[in-house]
């Protein structure tokens, strides 16, 4: 259950150009665009969301959904996009007669990520989106045409990302009307068929099955992969391995209901304790769950994380889970990992100035604490994980002497 420190080193994944393969079982999808960490940690501006190319520098992330389109039919009949601190309709210019932000400064960043083999779909919706098709299927088809022309392989004078061409769409529908999304996807697929590259349709349902907003489209349209949000609900990751963790329902859907018999199902997880209201599990627990599904389920496609800013602030949570998936003998680019050599036991440490570990506290990566006469250092952000338990803490050795001092600036 332990991830050695060598597994989460940046050197573990060499930068290479590998084309995205949706059929693999070791892909990692990480949402970008909402600065989730910044929203939860307003004072910690150095760790706020960076421009998207920042997250494309190694092979840890395969898919970066660009989130979100928050309004489908806005001023001038065009959608709105909000990328938090990077680009939005308030802080950036908008196209005349619309509230659609001009984010064309991101064009080169997007193309840089794609040149590294990343897939960047446009994510529609989110938890607060003013979305849906309240009239009929024709409106959904017209919206598909708009998305194709503004963001994908079509043409328009109004292209928020300039000459960059995104790689499809992601449906993160958590509000509005659930009707007519099948018509939307089917119309997009017509455009995809005439495109000169691969385009995808992903979806991010919440874990309660069937999903209230996307059950109809999931059952009737060709979806390439679903990023099931196993958090903020009773069926989330903390319920594993009990039946309440309802992977079985989603697996059955993929095998017996989905029109796409090659659809992949991802385990969706918060990348940090502050990334969701509930449902966060430490990396060792997520690794355990993901590897069990990777080994036992033919529909498993990988892990989805919310979001990039949280993952990077939490000691590269994305890289840790990618290394776990590719180091398990899976269909991964790195193959099985080589066991780390045995290392001698750490020498006794002087622990004066380090306070005792407290169960109710949260700790940042690099925090140190005493427990049972030993000195420990957090490998990544952690809460409620006892030093010496699941491998979250690195054992720095026996304490020569004890002492206590407050060090709360290191804590979450």
Instruction: Sort 386 into a burial class: Cβ within 10 Å, 0-12 / 13-18 / 19+.
Output: middle
Interacting residues of 198 by C-beta distance below 8 A, sequence separation 6+? 20, 167
Is 174 part of the annotated catalytic residue set? yes
Contact status, residue 141 vs residue 184, Cβ threshold 8 Å: yes
What is the rounded CA–CA span in Å between residue 268 and residue 306?
8
What is the rounded CA–CA span in Å between residue 383 and residue 209?
29
Catalytic residue among 89, 174, 282, 385: 174
Alpha-carbon torsion (289, 292, 296, 302), positive or negative: positive
- 3-state secondary structure at position 167: coil
Please report the beta strands in 111-161, taking only residues with DSSP state E, as ranges in sequence order: 122-126
Helices (H) and strands (E) in the chain, counts: 9, 15
- 3-state secondary structure at position 146: helix
Please report the beta strands in 14-156, taking only residues with DSSP state E, as ranges in sequence order: 27-30, 66-71, 80-81, 122-126
Read off the DSSP letter of residue 106. G
Biggest alpha carbon distance in the chain? Answer: 74
Task: Tell me the sheet residues that pair with 27.
Answer: 302
**Residues with catalytic roles:** 174
């Amino acid at each position: 259950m332990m991830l050695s420190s060598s597994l989460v080193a940046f050197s573990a994944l060499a930068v290479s150009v590998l084309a995205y393969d949706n059929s693999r079982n070791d892909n990692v999808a990480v949402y970008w665009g909402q600065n989730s960490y910044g929203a939860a940690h307003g004072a910690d501006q150095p760790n706020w969301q960076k421009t998207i190319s920042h997250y494309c520098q190694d092979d840890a992330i395969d898919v970066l959904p660009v989130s979100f389109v928050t309004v489908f039919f806005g001023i001038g009949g065009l959608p709105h996009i909000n990328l938090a601190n990077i680009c939005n309709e308030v802080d950036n210019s908008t196209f005349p007669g619309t509230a659609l932000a001009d984010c064309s400064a991101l064009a080169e960043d997007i193309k840089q990520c794609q040149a590294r083999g990343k897939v960047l779909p446009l994510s529609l919706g989110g938890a607060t989106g003013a979305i849906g098709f309240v009239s009929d299927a024709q409106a959904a088809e017209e919206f598909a045409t708009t998305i194709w022309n503004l963001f994908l392989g079509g043409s328009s004078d109004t292209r928020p990302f300039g000459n960059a061409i995104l790689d499809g769409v992601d449906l993160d529908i958590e509000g509005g009307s659930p009707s007519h999304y099948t018509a939307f996807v089917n119309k997009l697929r017509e455009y995809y068929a005439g495109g000169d590259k691969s385009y995808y349709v992903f979806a991010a349902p919440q874990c309660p099955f069937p999903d209230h907003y996307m059950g109809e489209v999931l059952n009737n349209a060709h979806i390439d992969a679903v990023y099931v949000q196993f958090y903020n609900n009773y069926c989330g990751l903390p319920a594993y391995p009990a039946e309440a963790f309802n992977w079985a329902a989603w697996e059955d859907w993929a095998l017996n209901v989905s029109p796409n018999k090659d659809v992949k199902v991802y385990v969706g997880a918060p990348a940090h304790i502050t990334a969701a209201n509930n449902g966060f599990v430490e990396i060792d627990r997520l690794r355990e769950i993901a590897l069990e599904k990777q080994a036992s389920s033919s529909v498993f496609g990988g892990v989805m994380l919310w979001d990039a800013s949280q993952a990077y602030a939490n000691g590269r949570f994305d890289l840790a889970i990618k290394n776990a998936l590719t180091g398990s003998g899976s269909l991964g680019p790195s193959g099985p990992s080589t066991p780390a050599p045995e290392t001698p036991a750490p020498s006794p440490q002087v622990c004066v100035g380090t306070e005792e570990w407290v169960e109710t506290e949260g700790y940042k990566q690099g925090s140190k604490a005493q427990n049972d006469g030993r000195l420990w250092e957090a490998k990544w952000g952690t809460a409620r994980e006892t030093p010496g338990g699941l491998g979250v803490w690195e054992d720095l050795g026996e304490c020569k002497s004890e002492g206590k001092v407050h060090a709360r600036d290191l804590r979450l």
